[in-house]
Chain A
Amino acid sequence: MTAPTATAEAPPARSLSPASNPALIQLGIVAVALVIAFLVLGPAQFVNALTLGAIYALVAIGYTMVYGIIELINFAHGDVFMVGTFVSLSFLTSLGFSGAVTDPLLLVVLLVAVFAFTMIVMGLVGVLIERSAYRPLRNAPRLAPLITAIGVSFILQNVVQIFYGPFQTNSPQIFPTDWFIEIGDVTIPVLSIFIVAVAVGMMIGLQLFIGRTRLGRAMRSTALDRDAAALMGVNINRTIAITFFIGSALAGAAGVTYGLQYGVTRFDLGFQAGLKAFTAAVLGGIGNTVGAALGGFIIGFIEVAAVAFGYGRWGPAVVFGVLVIVLVFRPAGLLGQQVGERA
């Protein structure tokens, strides 16, 4: 029987719910993966991978939320992340900061300010994109919003290129990169701990928001069945706009952390990063926020492992290779649900 299989295995895992999968199994998978990664990579690279993975995970969540609610691959999302790096960079340089800030109090204030500013700006950008490029096409054929998304991606890249030029721009690393914590003979940069903590904190916050609040419930119901949700009094347009706001704000936060960690950015950063983050979202099971986070860390580990073993140039190829393999054997992703396609 070959004909029916084509659709029977189709995998739209549509639920944003954190409770849709047994949490224990997920935790188990994560724990095992972490132990394996630690053993393979060694402590220094393990921290690197965790940091990179945290950034990918933040971006991937935006992809997965948007896909979960309107089934659109938001190709512009990687570029929203890229714009986030530039917004945070501009914010810091316009305040006159160019290097590390060692005064702890000032640093905390500054970090809160830059995260808040970038996240709000990027959230609004995300809402603007949704309003102008996606909402008018909500009932159009699927291909249409996908193509506008690619168009928006090119617009964002080129607008940034006009303002900042085609070359690498330095981003102020206000978080001192020479702060280390020593555990035994392992030194861990405080910055990495900070980034992972911020990312994990945001993810937990998001889970609570989706799982416990009225708006989160509205988002889940809209993802499940838009028409039914509308009949129950959910304001669909507002809910989708909020989803875009949150997703883009998280991408903005990822942009800030990227600037802090790597100190440089460029107009075409978003394409590759977006691709990997989307891969992460698919890997984890698209529509599933926990899966996206897991996928982000996995991609981070794969990439760092490729570099560690001297195959850095093959990094992207390995990432996509893994994606293809996972999709072939588990079309709904690692944590996605196997759901039949709606007719």
Chain B
Amino acid sequence: MSVVQDLPASGGRRGGALRARIGEMSARHRSISIIVGMAIVAAVLPVLAAVPPFSSFQTQNAWIDGFTNAGVFVLLALGLNLVVGVAGLLDLGYAAFFAIGAYAYAYAASPFGNEILGIDVAAVLGDAAGLVFWPMLIIGALVAATFGILLGAPTLRLRGDYLAIVTLGFGEIVPIVFLNSDDLTNGTNGIGGIYRPYLPGIGSFSAVDPWPYYITMMILVTVVMIFCYRLAASRLGRAWEAIREDELAAAANGINTVTTKLLAFALGASTAGIAGVFNAAKLTVVSPDQFGFVVSFTVLAMVVLGGMGNFWGVAVGAFVIYTINNVLLKTLNQFFDTLGIPILEDIDFIGLQFLLYGIALVAMMLLRPEGLFPNSRRKRELHAEVTEPGQDEMTLPEVTEEGGR
């Protein structure tokens, strides 16, 4: 498609008249359309899980549970997208904030953690100790955001690459601290016996019934999605994009780059904090090995493959990658085991997960650097002067993040 055609569109005026109208509606009523969209997704997924091709893989409850776990990564990807996709700051230690959120909840909602904090939630609330889950969603986000600022304040003045390595270092330090502070974090074993969320009328969520978690997660994703869209469309969001495109020019135009970048860091971190609180409440145990570089990397892969800057794309990317990892690869193993094809039978597809990631990342960057579901503006940037559809993308002109525009 040509650039000229693409330029005026912000919602999606290409395609049929109906699509155009839907596009316009959704652009005007962003929040409502997100709520409607997420409601449809939340309703369709369980149905899909119950019909033949999918129901043969695993039970509906197992699917619902998987979707909920995928939701954790959707949250993480949405948050990282704010930092990497919108503001263009490469954060390679994002899992640290996930860990901080999870440990924050563990302290507020487990006997071990309560003892350290000198409070006793269970004594006050009794069986409803899981009530703390709800305020902790916000407190966890605030704690993670605080750490985001603490990390960002000294380091955000650094140039992009240095920032990447410092965040990577931070991502390594945080699990090490949780691992080695035995008295405070119970070391390798982590903190167990975390209370499950409690909701009046439903009672405490249970391990066997995935539905309450699922619905909670869908609501969280919806809220965060709206939050992200609102942010990206705000003055702050535009400032982020300006910094991503050209930091010097942004500063010259009166944007306080340090504060703006700090906010990106803090808000991205807070989303990871929410995901951490949820994950801790669902697993009922937190331990340092849940938050290694692999998590940071996986989330980054999700953001990149989904299409940096595009929230829906990133969410779908996260969902698809998580599902492929945890369902498809597992199923492939079983599938080839039953077929008994000599070579394929011996391949452990789950073990190959990161090899596949690696290949996918490289291939994606070489062939389709804008991701599967690109942000429309970013796509134009990356293909700005490519006039013929078939032209080799490897000879992209020098219209880059660094400048040129």
**A residues apposed to B, CB below 8 Å:** 2-7, 9-12, 67, 71, 73, 132-133, 136-137, 139-148, 150-155, 157-159, 161-162, 271, 275, 278-279, 282, 286, 313-314, 316-317, 319-321, 323-324, 327-328, 331, 341, 343
Are B362 and A151 in contact (CB-based, < 8 A)?
yes
Cβ 8 A contact of A150, one of B158, B170, B300, B402: B300
**What are the nearest 10 A-B pairs in CB distance?**
A151-B361, A320-B169, A154-B358, A158-B355, A155-B358, A6-B257, A151-B362, A141-B401, A151-B358, A136-B394
Give A190 to B398 CA distance when docked, in angstroms: 53
Chain A nearest CB, measured from B257 CB (Å): 4
Measured CA separation A147–B371 after assembly (Å): 12
B366 touches A158 (CB 8 A): no
Name the interface residues of B81-137: CB closer than 8 Å to any CB of A.
84, 88, 90
Check if B164 sits within 8 Å of A154, measured CB to CB: no
Residues from chain B with Cβ under 8 Å of A11 in the complex: 158-159, 162
Q: Is B357 an interface residue (CB 8 A)?
A: yes
Pick from A7, A319, A327: contact of B166, CB below 8 A.
A327
13 A–B pairs (Cβ distance < 8 Å), ordered by A: A71-B161, A73-B165, A133-B362, A139-B400, A143-B401, A146-B161, A147-B365, A155-B359, A158-B352, A158-B354, A316-B176, A323-B169, A327-B162
The CA-CA distance from A320 to B90 in the complex, in Å, is: 17
Cα of A226 to Cα of B43 in the assembled complex, Å:
55
Q: A151-B362, A324-B154 are in contact. List 18 more A-B contacts (CB 8 A).
A: A2-B259, A3-B251, A7-B257, A67-B161, A137-B365, A139-B398, A140-B369, A140-B396, A141-B382, A147-B361, A148-B366, A151-B361, A154-B361, A161-B351, A282-B162, A317-B176, A320-B170, A331-B157
Contacts of A321 in B (CB 8 A): 173
Q: Which of A6, A145, A155, A320 contacts B355 (CB 8 A)?
A: A155
Given A141-B382, A327-B155, A341-B159, the answer on whether A314 and B180 have CB atoms closer than 8 Å is yes
CB distance from A276 to the nearest CB of B (A): 10
B3 in the interface, Cβ–Cβ < 8 Å?
A: no
CB A147 to nearest CB in B, in angstroms, measures: 5
B153 and chain A: residue at smallest CB distance: A328
Within 8 A of A (CB), among B135-184: 154-155, 157-162, 164-166, 168-170, 172-173, 176-177, 179-180
Q: How far is the CB of A283 from chain B (nearest CB, A)?
A: 10
Beyond A9-B157, A282-B162, whether A140 also contacts B400 by CB under 8 A is yes
Most buried by B among A11, A67, A71, A144: A144
| Chain B residues positioned under 8 Å from A275 (CB to CB) | 168-169, 172
Within 8 A of A (CB), among B218-241: none
Cβ of A324 and Cβ of B256 under 8 Å apart? Answer: no
Q: Collect the chain A residues with CB atoms within 8 Å of residue B256's CB.
A: 2-3
- Cβ-defined contact, B400 with A151, below 8 A: no
In the complex, the answer to whether A73 meets B169 with C-beta atoms within 8 Å is no
Q: How far is the CB of A177 from chain B (nearest CB, A)?
A: 30
Least CB distance, B373 to chain A, in whole angstroms: 17
B258 close to A6 (CB less than 8 A): yes
Please, which residues of chain A bring their CB within 8 A of the CB of B365? 137, 140, 144-145, 147-148, 151
- Chain B window 378-405, contacts with chain A (Cβ cutoff 8 Å), 1 for yes, 0 for no: 0001100000000000101110111100
A194 to chain B, nearest CB (A): 31
Return B248 CB to nearest CB of chain A, in Å: 5
Q: Does B9 contact A (CB under 8 A)?
A: no
Give A147 to B361 CA distance when docked, in angstroms.
7
Q: Contact: B400 with A317, CB < 8 Å?
A: no
Closest to B251 in A: A3
Nearest Cβ in chain B — how far from A44, in angstroms? 25
A133 to B355, CA, bound (A): 15
Residues in chain B near residue A161, CB distance under 8 A: 351
- Known A-B contacts A3-B257, A148-B362, A331-B157; the reply to A139 vs B397 at CB < 8 A is yes
B255 at the interface (CB under 8 A from A): yes
Closest A residue to B348 by beta carbon equals A162
- B403 CB contacts on chain A under 8 angstroms: 343
Is B360 part of the binding interface, using a Cβ–Cβ cutoff of 8 Å? yes
**Cα distance, A152 to B308, chains bound together (Å):** 20
Residues of chain A contacted by B293 (CB below 8 angstroms): 271
Question: Which of A132, A150, A317 is the one whose CB lies under 8 Å from B297?
Answer: A150
B396 touches A12 (CB 8 A): no
Q: In the complex the two chains form, what is the Cα distance from A85 to B22 in whole Å?
A: 58
